[in-house]
Amino acid sequence: PRTEPIFLLGLNAFVRAGKLDDALFAFDDMKRLIDGRPSVVVYNTMIHGYVKCGEHDKGFKFYERMLRDRVKPDVFTFNILLSSYCRDKKFDLALDLFREMKARGCSPNVVSFNTLIRGFFRERKFEEGVMMAYEMIDKGNLPSLIACTTLIEGLRKLGRRKEAFGFTDRMLKTGIVPDSVTFNCVLGDLCDVGRTVEANELRSLASK
């Protein structure tokens, strides 16, 4: 019964050292020795190891092996792969995986959403980023302060001030206050277009 924890320690050591061939050998050894299937934690360790070393394709292939072995991926599995795709600039594949994640009944968490929001920003898809943030809030999660500030700045840079105002208002109502520089810029934008009442309302919300 203690075979898996012992092998997991070894896997983690190999992964930290970047010795992925040794980690794979240990994984295959463990599969032969234990009763039943390795746990999702073991598969996640291997997937993370490949991704950490820049072997993104091998990480995804190990995920496919996980499915063939009938081990159910968890939110950590998907977050590792989402981050991998975004770092590898394969954002369309990240979105496909996000949809697969939900189709498999795995609920995205704050990390899942924030990873994709940052990805949308890098792709200059600010509207999609805002929609993702709204979906996140609707599911009871709150985007990180960095993600919110990034989106507001992105909208402002595109000249989409109205959307920036609306998003700032929504964030303030959920208790998230953008950093002072960004917030003051939004207030200045409102005053520039004569919307001083709304600027005062936002300032009041932020002070609560």
Distance from C-alpha of 39 to C-alpha of 108, rounded to nearest angstrom: 20
Distance from C-alpha of 208 to C-alpha of 90, rounded to nearest angstrom: 41
Distance from C-alpha of 67 to C-alpha of 59, rounded to nearest angstrom: 13
CA atoms within 13 A on the CB side of 99: 5
Distance from C-alpha of 8 to C-alpha of 10, rounded to nearest angstrom: 5
pLDDT at 53: 92
pLDDT at 105: 94
Q: Which H/E stretch holds residue 48?
A: helix 40-52
pLDDT at 45: 96
Q: Which two tokens stand for residue 134?
A: 């709204």
pLDDT at 97: 96
The candidate with the shortest Cα–Cα distance to 120, out of 151, 148, 146, 143, is: 151
pLDDT at 156: 83
CA dihedral sign, ordered 166, 169, 175, 178: positive
Show the domains of the chain with their CATH numbers.
Answer: 1-96 (1.25.40.10)
pTM of this structure:
0.81
pLDDT at 118: 84
CB neighbours of residue 55 within 10 Å: 16
Q: Which two tokens stand for residue 202?
A: 């936002």
Q: Which two tokens stand for residue 104?
A: 């498999």
Distance from C-alpha of 167 to C-alpha of 170, rounded to nearest angstrom: 5
Q: Which amino acid is present at 41?
A: V
Please give the chain's pLDDT, 208 residues, in tens.
Answer: 567 888 889 999 999 999 999 999 999 988 888 877 899 999 999 999 999 999 999 999 999 999 999 999 999 999 999 999 988 888 889 999 999 999 999 999 989 998 998 888 888 887 788 888 888 888 877 777 887 887 788 788 878 888 888 888 888 887 888 788 888 888 888 888 888 888 888 888 777 6
Report DSSP state, residue 73.
Answer: P
